[in-house]
Amino acid sequence: MGEFISNHGMTYHLVTLGCQMNKSDSERARTVIEEMGYTWTDQEEEAQLMGILACSVRQKSIDKVYSRIYKWNSWKKQRNLLTFLSGCVLPADRAKFLKLFDLVFTMEELPDLENMIGQYGVITPAVVVNRQQQIAQKPEPFDDEHQPDHHLIDLFEVTGKNEKTGGDVLKSLKSLRRNELKLGKFWEITPVYTSSFEAFVPIQNGCDKFCTFCAVPYTRGREVSRPSAEIFSEIKQLIDDGYKSITLLGQNVNSYGRDKKDSEMTFKELLEKIGQLCDSSGIEVWIYFTSPHPKDMTDDVIKVISQYKSLAKQIHLPIQSGDDTVLKKMNRNHTVDKYRKIILSVRKYLPQSTIFTDIIVGFTGETDEQFENTRKIMEEFRYNMAYIAIYSPRPGAASSKWMDDIPQDIKKKRLHILSEELKKYSSEHNRKMIGRNYKVLVTGKDRKEGYLSGYTEGRIIVRFPSDDTTLIGNFVNILISSAADFSVEGVCQPVGEPEITAR
Ligand code: SF4
């Protein structure tokens, strides 16, 4: 790829895998790419710039990256195209992916993408236009002394030989610390929001917890809090633009400020200020956050949520297991009892709140008795929703070195048992909604023909008969008429009547 490639009118395609954090990052990636003059295309067959924001949580996601890049590289025989990989990528995988992608970089290096592409021998459409407009009767010749060169990140230089030793892991973490400085620049990018009424606002990146089943501390690095002034300014803009649902994002949102104790506020103070900002706007908006860690969850956070109307009464608090021995092996750094105290506080200060959780079944060595303890906590906490996952070793996580010794059929059986438990409590809650009016944010057309769907402040899914798509992105008042295991159905009420009686 040494020759000059004319990029005028070029398109890009971005594949985003994994969690909400990656989806949020992709909104900033789109801004940077579009500022370079590329336009989005749904048709990857047409794009000249193709990227993947990867997820390392499961092997399945890694496999998707391989299948995509093999396909893209096969197209390179017919036409010029440039490929890049970013997102959550393990240090060991970066080295392998550099042999397949033209560019591999961390998300915080995104603001430098244009330079990276330039070093690769490609001039972006925006540069072409600028040059045509501003400079040249005689265009600058392309500097072909810049040989096509992969953009090597610090991590690769440090750990490219062998990521498996503890020393290398430490070195890679130090390297990620250096990249923290670049995060500031990344967060300053104004995202291309994918929705006009729901938005994610990153408040923190990385994780210091080192749960043994998780690779995030190795892919995203240590916890870094985003400056609070920037968070307020993004939220204020979203409110001004009419957004109705805003989710504060981070791997450990309630650790916010701990990395900058002398200069930043705590998570409770951050929430308080956001509550003040949103309530005083006089505009209806629901502020969510995900995910908090039980270890750092304090009563003052729960009390603050109770004081501000805009702070949504929905708590997502991952427990992962209901057994102390398993929690210890997972390095979760809290006990079931500590978790129970938080739930009691939520019930006390936020009695109307729904509660969601994450659970892993079949973790290495999980006995029948330990699993039964998890089943019991479901009975005790009566979650509205639980995201239950079958354990599988995640490449790069500490537990991936341990024997994955629970047979698949037992894992599936445990998943089934917990799903049935969940259904009981979720449907019990949903049935109580019948006959009451709820404010619902309409999110789109439902799968059921002639229906729209949305969610309540507690994030219970609501569907109702309507083909009025102008309601999408707005609040409506729904009288609930029937309940299913994980959703409810109702009828849209005239504006203002009858009064909304429930959240
Ligand atoms: S708290 Fe645990 S599960 Fe969550 S990102 Fe950190 S290490 Fe992973």
Candidates 428, 457, 414; CA nearest to 287 is 457
pLDDT in tens, 23-73: 999 999 999 999 989 999 999 999 999 999 998 777 788 889 999 999 999
311: exposed, middle or buried (Cβ count in 10 Å: 0-12, 13-18, 19+): buried
Is 177 touching ligand 1 by the criterion CB < 6 Å? no
217 within ligand 1 shell (Cβ under 6 A): yes
Cite the beta strand spans of 282-329 per DSSP E: 286-290, 314-316
19 Cβ below 6 A of ligand 1: no
Within 10 angstroms of residue 422's Cβ, the number of other Cβ atoms is 22
The more confidently predicted of residues 93 and 310 is 310
| Separation CA 120–CA 227 (nearest Å) | 33
pLDDT-derived band of residue 140, with 50, 70 and 90 as boundaries? very low
Please give the sequence-ordered ranges of beta strands (E in DSSP) within 145-256, or none if there are none. 198-202, 204-205, 224-225, 245-249
Q: Which atom of ligand 1 is nearest to the CA of 293?
A: 1
Nearest to 455 by CA among 435, 470, 433: 433
CB of 211 shorter than 6 A to ligand 1: yes
The finding on whether 253 has its CB within 6 A of some atom of ligand 1 is no
C-beta of residue 349 within 8 angstroms of C-beta of residue 308: no
Give the residue, out of 58, 252, 333, with the most ligand 1 atoms within 8 A of its beta carbon, to mutate for a pocket test: 252
From the CA of 252, give the closest atom in ligand 1.
1
pLDDT 10s digits, 398-457: 999 999 999 999 999 999 999 999 999 999 999 999 999 999 999 999 999 999 999 999
> pLDDT value at position 178?
52
- Model pTM score: 0.84
Query: What's the CA-to-centroid distance between 238 and ligand 1, angstroms?
Result: 28
For the Cβ of 293 lying below 6 angstroms from any atom of ligand 1, the answer is yes
Binning pLDDT at 50, 70 and 90, where does residue 183 land?
Answer: confident
List of domains in the chain: 11-177 (3.40.50.12160), 199-431 (3.80.30.20), 437-492 (2.40.50.140)
User: Is the minimum distance from the CB of 30 to ligand 1 under 6 angstroms?
Assistant: no
Of all protein residues, the one whose alpha carbon is nearest to atom 1 of ligand 1 is: 209
Residues 282-304: pLDDT tens digits? 999 999 999 999 999 999 999 99
**Per-residue model confidence (pLDDT) at position 110:** 87
With contact defined as beta carbons under 8 Å apart, do 70 and 158 qualify? no
Ligand 1 contacts CB of residue 295 (under 6 A): no
